Amino acid sequence: NAGVTQTPKFQVLKTGQSMTLQCAQDMNHNSMYWYRQDPGMGLRLIYYSASEGTTDKGEVPNGYNVSRLNKREFSLRLESAAPSQTSVYFCASRPNREGSAFFGQGTRLTVV
């Protein structure tokens, strides 16, 4: 079972470049999430999607856009990367209101 799969695992960008982080889950979960983790911090919610076709802002949405392409896939886009977006990014999914979240293995992004 793959669970939640994120690509890529590592990425280095130059300031101003754009990129999309991909996330896919094979557990038929309804809700999906993007978090970022900075040194000395817990994870912070960027965006989430309650179901296919819906997205909502989390705690730190500035500088990001998301797309819930279908039930399986939820992508995170950086249009113009900034050094402040250097972080580890986690995608997660949850089956329903009562369920627990399952996380992908994370993407380490460095913006130079």
Examine residue 64 and tell whether it contacts other proteins (CB under 8 A): no
The H or E element that residue 42 is part of is: none
Q: Which CB sits closer to other proteins, 17 or 75?
A: 75
Displacement of CA 109 from its chain's centroid (Å) = 12
Residue 27 lies near other proteins (rule: CB under 8 A): no
Tokens of 9: 């695992």
In the beta sheet, which residues pair with residue 112? none
- Copy the structure tokens of residue 94: 């949850």
Query: At which residue do the structure tokens 């695992």 appear?
Result: 9
Q: Which of 1, 14, 28, 42 binds other proteins (CB under 8 A)?
A: 42
Identify which range of 15-23, 62-70, 79-87, 97-105 contacts other proteins by CB under 8 A.
Answer: 97-105
Establish if 26 lies at the interface with other proteins (CB under 8 A). no
Q: Is 45 helix (H, G, I), strand (E, B) or coil?
A: strand
Stretch that binds other proteins, among 15-23, 41-49, 68-76, 77-85 (CB under 8 A): 41-49
